[in-house]
Structures are given as structure tokens and as C-alpha cells.
Amino acid sequence: MTATVEIKQVSHRFGDFTALNNINLTIEAGSFAVLLGPSGCGKTTLLSVLGGFLHPTAGSVHLGGTDVTNVPPAKRATTTMFQDYALFPHMNLQDNVGFGLRMQGQSKKQRLSKSAELLALVGLEDSKRKKPHELSGGQRQRVALARALAVNPDVLLLDEPLGALDLKLRRQMQDELKAIQRRIGTTFIHVTHDQEEAMAIADKIIVMNEGQVEDQGTPESIYLKPKTVFSAAFMGEANLLQGRIDKFADDIITVNTDLGQFSLNKKCCVNSNVNVNDNVKICFRPEHVLAQDNTMDNNVNLGNTRVSDRAFFGSHQRCQLLADDGKTYIANLPQSQLIKNDSVMQLRINSESIVVLLA
């Protein structure tokens, strides 16, 4: 069971505070979508609106083409997996998982076989008579997943489900979640503030900030072609250089910056409505800084910089480069390159990978 989720012009206010500001979103049936943003960005509020726990101040929610804005949680084809798991403390695992089926009036036999099936799906078939307090955090998380899936929801809503787990377990559970989602094909909408988690599991990431959708797309498109400065900065490390559009000519734009003037292909502008004299941010990822021995033609040279600090990170070395404008830029350079503190080095960037964003 699965369904498309459409959110149309949804706004929500808590008193004077605008938690959601005119959200429009479509999430395809059977996809794994992640709502990503810092705390207070409105992602949990949006999830509550989807689950039916909150009635939005304005706008509507559609599941599989039907308006469900006024449908209460109990009757909605969504189930929520809560951040604190919210397992029923007085019931064993099979009763927890079978609760939704009990509410549907299914027979005890049906319930037991379905909950056994789901506990097997999450690898807890041997613990069906245990109580939640006998389980570890990761196991509770699995039970919560099994319980939510037992009622065959069209859409599963996951509210930071991995937040309480330690790093290693979290990475493991990400893979499991993704595998389960592939297997059953239900639409998953997952809330997190961890961009690595988002990239690890999502088919589609929706970046939110201050109650608005900043950016949406595949992990690749958001990482490589972010549409806003916030999105660029939130999805991993980004170097930002202040600039101004000098001129447009055919497919080439010329930008003036504190580190000199250079030209870029127009494709670097993700915003279509960029004009001459607009203030922009030139954005490049640390790994797009070219190594000294890289002879690629297609590059932008930002002049000489001084290496103010470097650290070895295993797969790469991370350098802080102090440029002429007095600002520090981060470069991830190959481990093979010999770099010394205080040495001088040219800051060259693969021009294909540069993104020009409206400031």
C-alpha cells in the first residue's frame, strides 16, 4: 500500500509564531522522502500536519488524491513512528505490534500471525513476549517500526526515529530502514536534522528553514546544485565567496569578487532570474578545490593563499587556506599531496562544480 502525498499551501501558526509558511510539496508514491532542517525549522510541525495531529491554520493535505485535511489520525492512512517510540509499556511486543489490528477488529489469530511476520521483518521474532523496557534503544526503534507498519499504512511518518541512537547503530538502522522501505514500497516521510542521514536514505530531500521549503530534490542535486545559500551550507561544508554579476554574454557570465574577476558557464547559475549587478555568493565545496598537481584547464584561479592549518582525515587532508580577502577557505586535498603549514598555495577550483547563488 502506498500513496502520493500532496501538501497544498499549508501554513500553521502557534500564536504569534509562524511554524509553517505556505508549504507546497508533492511526494511521489513509494518514495523515501526526508524533511531536513535545523531544529525549529517546522519539519516536525509539518509531519504532525501530515499525521493529522495538527490541523493546519491554512491549506490542505491530500493522500492519493483525496483531501484528508479534516480526517483524524485514527482514520488516516498514515501512521507515525514517534521520536521516543511511544511503545505501550504494559504490553509485550506482539501486543504492541498487533494493537492497530486489534483496533481494526481483526481476530487474535490474524493479529498474532501478522505481528510475528512484522517482528521477523525487523529481526525480533524471538523477543515477541518481551516488554519494551527489556529492550535496547535500537530494538525499541524496530518494534515501533513494526507496530506502525502492521496496519499497512499508505504513508509512514518517521519523526527523528534515529535521534536517540549512537552513531554506529544509527548508520546500521539507516540501511535497514531503507531496505525495508524498498521491500514494502510504502511512502516513507522521515524527519531529521542530520544531513548525512538524509543523504544515506532519501530518494528525495526537502530542505526546510524557518517554516519554508528552501530546496528539494535528490541528494545529488541538493548537494551539487543547491538552490539557496542556506541549502548549500546545511548540506555539508561550503565555501562562500561574495561577488557581483558583471556581465552576461551568450553562455558565459563574468563575476567580480574580492579575489578578482572570472568567468563561468551560465549553467553554474541555478537561479534562472539572475541579472547584471545582482549580488551573488560563489559557492564551492572543499573537495572541489584542485590539488597543486592537477592540470585541469577548466578551472578558476582565486590567487595565492597561505596554508594556516592542516589536519589529516584519512581519506583526505583538510586545509584552511587564508586568502587575500582575509577570509579562510576550506580545501579537502588528496592525502598524497605534500602540504606544510604557512606554505603558499594557489586556490584553484574546478569551474564546473561552482554554484552561483543569489545572495
Residue ranges in contact with another protein by CB under 8 A = 14, 17, 19, 39-40, 44-45, 48, 51-55, 72-75, 78-80, 82-84, 86-91, 99-100, 103-104, 133, 147-148, 151
**Beta bridge partner(s), residue 11:** 58
Q: Give the residue with the Cβ less far from another protein, 75 or 109.
A: 75
Q: Give the residue with the Cβ less far from another protein, 88 or 313.
A: 88
Q: Give the residue with the Cβ less far from another protein, 35 or 148.
A: 148
Nearest distance from C-beta of residue 182 to another protein, angstroms: 24
Which residues have C-beta within 8 Å of that of residue 197, sequence separation ≥ 6?
34, 162, 170, 174
Nearest distance from C-beta of residue 200 to another protein, angstroms: 23
The cell 577550483 sits on which residue? 349
Q: Give the residue with the Cβ less far from another protein, 61 or 151.
A: 151
Nearest distance from C-beta of residue 52 to another protein, angstroms: 8
Nearest distance from C-beta of residue 253 to another protein, angstroms: 39
Nearest distance from C-beta of residue 178 to another protein, angstroms: 23
Q: Give the residue with the Cβ less far from another protein, 153 or 219.
A: 153
